[in-house]
Amino acid sequence: MAGSSHGHTPAAWTGVIIAFIGFCVAGAFMVMAQPLGFWAGMVIVALGGVVGAIMRAMGLGQPKESHGVAHASAATREPASAES
């Protein structure tokens, strides 16, 4: 995963932060036995996914070309000792 920069974009960070806040809201209201607040938190979780998708569509996510192609040239090269 480290080589693919998976999730290292403003769209990913924003979507996850909003979803995490929704998770915390839903958890707090679940403990307080308030179903309306729980469902409001679940709406916030879903909103995190929508915001992340919109930001990706705006160009703030990982480009489609870079998925799995990041180190293709390095994988086809021979080791340095074999080149000489």
Mean pLDDT score, 54-68 = 77
Question: What does pTM read for this prediction?
Answer: 0.68
**pLDDT recorded at residue 50:** 95
Give phi and psi for 12, each to the nearest 5. Answer: -65, -45
Would you say residue 81 has pLDDT above 80?
no
**pLDDT recorded at residue 61:** 81
Per the prediction, the chain carries an average pLDDT of 81
